[in-house]
Amino acid sequence: MRETRSTCPYCGVGCGVVIESKGEQITGVRGDPDHPANFGRLCSKGSTLHLTASAPITQHARLLFPMRRAHRDAAPQPLSWNEAMTLATDRFEQAIRTHGPDAVGFYLSGQLLTEDYYVFNKLAKALIGTNNVDTNSRLCMSSAVAGYKATLGADAPPACYDDLAHARTLFITGANTAWAHPILFRRIEDAKRADPRLRIIVADPRRTDTAAAADLHLPLLPGSDVALYHGLLHLMLAEGWLDRDYIEAHTQGFEALRVRVAEFTPRETSRLTGLTEPALLQAAAWFAGLDAPGEGRSPTLSLYCQGLNQSASGTAKNAALINLHLATGQIGRAGAGPFSLTGQPNAMGGREVGGLSNLLPAHRDLANPAHRAEMAAFWGVPRIPEQPGKSAVEMFKAAAEGQIKALWIACTNPAQSMPDQALVREALRRCDFVVVQEAFSTTATAAFADLLLPATTWGEKEGTVTNSERRISRVRRAVAAPGQARHDWHIATELAQRLEGRLRPGEMPLFDYSTPEQVWNEHRETTRGRDLDITGLSYALLDSAGPQQWPLPAGQASGRARLYEDGVFPTEDGRARFFDTPFEPVAEPRDVRHPFSLNTGRLRDQWHGMSRTGNLGRLFGQAPEPTVDLHPHELQRLGLQPGDLVHVTSRRGSIVLPAAADEGLGPMQAYIAMHWGEEFVSGRSARGEPLAGVNALTTPRYCPRSKQPELKHCAVKLLKA
């Protein structure tokens, strides 16, 4: 029996695990008592990792060999790795030489490790000369990135998990922590038990399990978050609850925002959000933290996730919330600050290596000529292209329009998870050459691949991930790769080495890696002098001292728990910026034809497209089948009984689901969990093509700054089937 310390591959809490294995079989998993994210605890998903990892290979549908389809309707046939990589290199070179570098694209994943991400990003931006690198993190966190940069000057979550134990008020907004980040929610429960004075506010249109635990639930109308935050600021201003000294010393731009929020009177905010004026006043008082006379200002910590991010005004929502923290000085001290929670295990690591179409490594911006020059010099190439790459939705649109000819998809399932499935499937059909690099052969996207490349997964690979609190943890191999599966960084490196020989023959090799540690060492060097400087962090330190938070520059023994304690922000003048933004309603408002607001989100016990959790019967205990959830009054009004089949139809498609009652939903609201794919939910596009899952319905409209699509809202109609 062996024991291997690693990290849970599911959510951004980033819990430490101890993998038990015998021979090449994973036999058990338990929480790592020494990991500072979870101190030994695991949720229902993490504690069953060994059962999903050790499911029989056939049931598990692992991809074990490279496979090729002669044409799209043909069954895939095995081929050798050499043949597969020759084919991939030929087709990518052909697309680049014939149509230019922007005719290829890479669509990656927040499930990839930092080292995997780094190689892919360098391959595209330094070698091929395209910025067409984007990831499913665009669907998850890009609004949080844009919100932090617009206000605090850098994409750096300032708080940490330990702040939960110091906060007096928790403002949980756009997040169902009880289900999406269960171990963090256990820490919230611990904090409440330890100090019953802790007040929990939850702003969410649904009465979720998280909202049920709140002292104050604010069931705001879908998409009205910016109006709520502006309304709270208006109240704090009127009541004299702002921290004028902090605003004066550490920020700029307050005057424009003060004028903006003047119109968000309690009455107007109540009209826009559907919340009562007393509830707004209570929330403002608790957030400001001045309601205990003689005790000074008590700390307020905000926790937020997809309810803010997955929105056509995602950046505005993030920044308007951060405005509240800056205006009340609720930042840079224990228990206070805006704290975005990452959905995926390594959305943070992807951001750190610049693995989005508008970023470069170490929080550099593609749009900044000095940053492009720095990375070109670091990588030893003449230039990094200036042309912005395509973000997730843009990339699939470009493929559907014939502009992207070759697409490389790694560790993600866009044929289920992207909004507007009709568009995505058209893109995958139209694209000349689609490579899918995956651990599982049964994903919806695999059906569109010309070439399938088997990748290793959790328990089999080595590298690092970064969780929501900037903590970098090691992911370690416990068992050998099954079949001919290879590590993601290795596959990317081999493609890069082969393309290098053709695109820049005779020049200094750029991809001289034979271990993930070599990739890590190069990545950390890109951070020297940057806000996330980790030049002091080695695999050896992670092995000896355990997971560490960034920054951790050379010469320091450990990372920093909390940022901006000195009130100095990474902007030109050291001041944070207030973000003056109007309130915009949802991208697709309800109307007479589509009178319901559809919200999507997670279940507690399933993960993403279920390629792993869907193999385990016990994880269906919480929700055995997909449903469209409605308030009992709505069921009654529509003449429905729970279990009746319902057509749910948006402007883009229609699916059929059983109805279920949920008293936590408001009037004219519907909810469908995101996980169920074509095995469970079938439907049709508006043009009659077969589609599956809730993303047959969702809109591709996105935030103009973050390019994150509005997966959390679209307008639908409901008809009994």
Pair of tokens at residue 172: 């949980």
Quote the least distance from Cβ 172 to ligand SF4, whole Å. 16
603 binds ligand SF4 (CB under 6 A): no
Q: Give the shortest CB-46-to-ligand SF4 separation in angstroms.
A: 2
Q: Which is nearer to ligand SF4, 13 or 665 (CB)?
A: 13
Q: Rule CB under 6 A: is residue 43 a binding residue for ligand SF4?
A: yes
In 333-371, which positions are buried (b, 16+ CB within 10 angstroms) versus exposed (e)? bbbbbbbbbbbbbbbbbbbbbbbbbbbbbbbbebeeeeb
Among 5, 6, 15, 157, binds ligand SF4 (CB under 6 A): 15
Contact flag: residue 439 with ligand SF4 (CB under 6 A): no
Q: Where are any strands of DSSP class E within 380-532?
A: 406-410, 433-438, 451-454, 463-466, 471-475
* Stretch binding ligand SF4 (CB under 6 A), from 10-18, 263-271, 301-309, 415-423: 10-18
Indicate which single residue of 5, 6, 8, 88 sits in contact with ligand SF4 (rule: CB under 6 A): 8
- Name every residue whose Cβ is closer than 8 Å to that of residue 293 and which is 6 or more positions away in sequence: none
Residue 11 touching ligand SF4 (CB under 6 A): yes
Query: How far is Cα 213 from Cα 204, in angstroms, rounded to an integer?
Result: 12
Confirm or reject binding of residue 471 to ligand SF4 (CB under 6 A): no
Closer of 52 and 654 to ligand SF4 (Cβ): 52
Neighbouring C-beta atoms of residue 46, cutoff 10 Å: 23
The interface region with ligand SF4, picked from 36-44, 502-510, 657-665, 674-682 by CB under 6 A, is 36-44
> Within its chain, how far is the Cα of 203 from the centroid?
20
Binding status of residue 347 toward ligand SF4 by CB under 6 A: no
CB of 182 to ligand SF4, least distance (A): 5
User: From the CB of 47, what's the least distance to ligand SF4, in Å?
Assistant: 7
Query: How far is residue 360 from each of residues 315, 397, 660, 670, measured CA to CA in Å?
Result: 20, 23, 45, 39
Nearest distance from residue 17's CB to ligand SF4, in Å? 7
226: Cβ contacts below 8 Å, ≥ 6 apart: 313, 316, 317, 320, 581, 582, 583, 584
Q: What is the DSSP track for 568-623?
A: --SSTTS-EE---------SS---SSS-EEEEEE--SS--TT-TTGGG-GGGGSS-
For the CB of residue 303, give the shortest distance to ligand SF4 in the complex, in Å: 14
How many other β-carbons are positioned within 10 Å of the β-carbon of residue 373? 12
CA torsion, ordered 110, 116, 117, 118, to nearest 10 deg: 160
Tally the residues of the chain. Answer: 721
Q: Distances from the Cα of 411 to the Cαs of 28, 446, 461, 508, 568, in angstroms?
A: 24, 11, 13, 30, 38
AA identity, residue 696: A
- Report the alpha-carbon distance of residue 542 to residue 50 in Å, rounded: 24
Q: Pick one of 19, 29, 35, 46: the residue that binds ligand SF4 (CB under 6 A).
A: 46
- Asked if 16 is part of the footprint of ligand SF4 (rule: CB under 6 A), the reply reads no
Tell me the closest approach of the beta carbon of residue 9 to ligand SF4, in angstroms: 8
Interface of this chain with ligand SF4, residues 353 to 412, rule: CB under 6 A: none
85 binds ligand SF4 (CB under 6 A): no
By CB under 6 A, residue 610 contacts ligand SF4: no
Which one of 6-14, 82-90, 293-301, 682-690 is the stretch in contact with ligand SF4 (CB under 6 A)? 6-14
Fill in the per-residue mask, 176 to 215: x = in contact with ligand SF4 (CB under 6 A), - = not in contact.
Answer: -----xxx--------------------------------
Q: How far is the CB of 12 from ligand SF4 (least distance, A)?
A: 7
Closer CB to ligand SF4, residue 45 or residue 363?
Answer: 45
Decide if residue 45 touches ligand SF4 (CB under 6 A): yes
Alpha helices for 213-276 (secondary structure H): 225-239, 244-250, 254-261, 266-273
Nearer to ligand SF4, 66 or 182 (CB): 182
**Can you give the C-alpha Rg of the chain in angstroms?**
24
> What number of chain residues touch ligand SF4 (CB under 6 A)?
14
Q: How far is the CB of 464 from ligand SF4 (least distance, A)?
A: 15
Asked if 161 touches ligand SF4 (CB under 6 A), the answer is no
Among 5, 6, 14, 320, binds ligand SF4 (CB under 6 A): 14
Question: According to the binding rule CB under 6 A, does residue 13 interact with ligand SF4?
Answer: yes
Closest contact distance (angstroms) between CB of 37 and ligand SF4 is 7
Burial 537-549 (b: 16+ CB within 10 A, else e): bbbebbeeebbbb
**Beta-carbon contacts of residue 344 (< 8 Å; ≥ 6 apart):** 11, 12, 109, 110, 111, 136, 137, 140, 141
**Is 619 a binder of ligand SF4 (CB under 6 A)?**
no
472 binding ligand SF4? (CB under 6 A): no
Give the DSSP H/E element, type plus range, for residue 685: strand 682-685
Smallest gap from residue 326 Cβ to ligand SF4 (A): 30
Q: How far is the CB of 185 from ligand SF4 (least distance, A)?
A: 8
- The label of the residue with tokens 């919330």 reads 321
- In the complex, residue closest to ligand SF4 by CB: 46
Angle at 291 (CA atoms; ends 285, 292), nearest 5 degrees: 160
Determine the Cα–Cα distance for residues 705 and 164; give it in Å rounded to an integer: 30
Residue 33 or 380: the one with the smaller Cβ distance to ligand SF4 is 33
Residues in contact with ligand SF4 by the rule CB under 6 A: 8, 10-11, 13-15, 38, 42-43, 45-46, 181-183
